[in-house]
Amino acid sequence: MNSTSRKLLEIYGWYGTAAILAAYLLVSFGLAGDLVLYQILNLTGSTALAIIGFLKKAWQPAALEAAWAVIALASLVWLISR
């Protein structure tokens, strides 16, 4: 993997962290009026961190984030289909 790819993955991982923290902040302070946005942040953030975890062979956090992404996706589908 070249240095540009590594830098992009690093940025992607930081996006994932920021997205999950933003979602948590929104719901914790009652600002998550739009649950679709909340689940999109959870889905994209956890997917990013799951990919980083798998690439770094950090299996436990990768599995946690993959499960988080599946739950967020299911919730997003449910919210949109109602």
Predicted confidence band at 32 (pLDDT cuts at 50, 70, 90)?
Answer: confident
Place of tokens 């990768």: 62
Give pTM, 2 decimals: 0.90
d(CA 21, CA 41): 9
Residue 37, both tokens: 């946005």
Question: pLDDT of 33-75, one tens digit each?
Answer: 879 999 999 999 999 999 999 999 999 999 999 999 999 999 9
d(CA 36, CA 28): 16
Q: Of 23, 25, 66, which is closest to residue 46 (Cα–Cα)? A: 66
Alpha helices in 1-82, H assignment, sequence order: 3-28, 35-55, 59-81
